[in-house]
Amino acid sequence: MVKGRQGERIRLYVRGIILGYKRSKSNQYPNTSLIQIEGVNTPEEVDWYRGKRMAYIYKAKTKKNGTNYRCIWGKVTRPHGNSGVVRAKFRTNLPPKSMGGRVRVFMYPSRI
Amino acid sequence: MAKSEKPRVSRNKELIRGVGRFSRSKMYHKRGIWALKEKNGGSFPRHDKQPPQAKAVEKAPKFYPADDEPKPLINKRKPKPTKLRSSITPGTVLILLAGRFKGKRVVFLKQLESGLLLVTGPFKLNGVPIRRVNQAYVIATSTKIDISTVDASKFTDKYFEKEVVRKKKTESDFFEAEKEDKKTLPTEKKEDQKVLDAVVLQAVESVPDLNQYLSSRFSLRSGMKPHELVF
């Protein structure tokens, strides 16, 4: 997170949007979330992102570990469908208020 | 057997499985057992068993544990260091993906016994000291420097171990311990850095624009897709 220094802002993660949980028409399975990664449009492109770690970062009122920001870690598990959407599993399930929210998809563990 | 053995060939060619070309008596002759017998006075040389050496008399132990505990199986497995990706060779420029120096471009020196990668900035260019880094948190670029003249043999995992400070638990020491928060790098390590970097910098200067490249950091910009980038 931002340490008290005026460094250059570098982004080493890809932005992603949380679409919701894995679901069928009337049942949802909150242990797996669906993520739309920016710029990824086919399941072949998703292959690069398999296993990459991602973080859902949110703010809370009380300070924990000296900061109001909190994080849920997870990873990309597999592609979902034909349009580059991705399934992801997090350490704890994502809260429903995260739907439509931002997720950071990091470039590690790297395979290149 | 002390002599080097050639693979043993059978003198009895197999016609079908279980049936050989030659009979027992023919094989006896072919193998030359008759010659061995002749050499040893009519009978096949025998080696009698050596008389069993008297074992030392063991005294019965004074103490037996109440139950026979099962002994855990012996594990002789030694883990190997992580396999190095083929794209990472000594002198490759790597991009660090996480940690304090994320985004920095850095020169790879060698892989240590623990599997971690030994890496240096060089310090003058981007502030990255001689450091260990895990392979998974690194992107290898195709830029390579010739560092064959660099001697990194003195850097091993032990070099990076934290020094264990053992203090006696007395009250005065307890209060003093709180004051010792500053940890400065011993001058030895600073010297090591300078010596190593001097050689690396030479190699870096020989390539045009490389020192600016190493001083700058990597960042993703708008529209950049990592899965399409060629590093």
Distance of alpha carbon B221 from alpha carbon B223, whole angstroms: 6
Within a domain: B20: no
Instruction: For residue B46, report the phi and psi dihedrals to the nearest 5 degrees.
Output: -115, 145
Q: Is ipTM over 0.95?
A: no
Q: Residue A62: inside a domain, yes or no?
A: yes
The domain total for chain B is: 1
Query: Considering the domain boundaries, does residue A8 fall inside one?
Result: no
What CATH code is carried by the domain that includes residue A40? 2.40.10.190
Q: B204 near B125, Cβ under 8 Å?
A: yes
- CB within 8 Å: A39 and B98: no
- CB atoms < 10 A from the CB of B137, how many? 19
* pLDDT attached to residue B80: 83
CB pairs < 8 Å spanning A and B: 60
Interface touch A108/B98, C-beta < 8 Å: yes
CB distance B217–A10 less than 8 Å? Answer: yes
**Which residues in chain B have their CB less than 8 angstroms from residue A49's CB?**
227
Nearest CB neighbour to B227, from listed A9, A13, A48: A48
For residue B4, pLDDT beyond 70 = no
On whether residue A111 sits in a domain, the answer given is no
pTM of the model as a whole: 0.71
Residue B172, domain member (yes or no): no
The pLDDT, as a whole number, for residue A2 is 46
Is residue B44 a part of any domain in this protein? Answer: no
Task: List pLDDT tens digits, range A8-51.
Answer: 678 899 999 999 999 999 999 999 999 999 999 999 999 999 99
Structural domain count of chain A: 1
Let me know if residue B37 belongs to a domain.
no
Chain A residues closer than 8 Å to B136 by CB: 108-110
Can you give the residue range of the structural domain that contains B139?
81-154+187-221
- Is B24 a member of any domain? no
Q: Where are the beta strands (DSSP E) in A7-112?
A: 13-23, 28-37, 53-64, 67-80, 85-90, 102-106
Domain range for A82 is 13-106
> Is A81 inside a domain boundary?
yes
Partner-chain contact B219 A11, CB within 8 Å: yes
On whether residue B162 sits in a domain, the answer given is no
Position A6 in a domain? no
User: pLDDT for B189-230, tens place per residue?
Assistant: 888 888 888 888 888 888 888 888 999 989 898 888 999 998
In a domain, B99, yes or no: yes
Beta strands in B8-64 (DSSP E): 14-16, 19-20
Provide the shortest C-alpha distance from residue A25 to chain B (in Å).
32
Q: What's the CATH code of the domain at B215?
A: 2.30.30.30
CB within 8 Å: B103 and A12: yes
Q: Is residue B17 part of a domain?
A: no
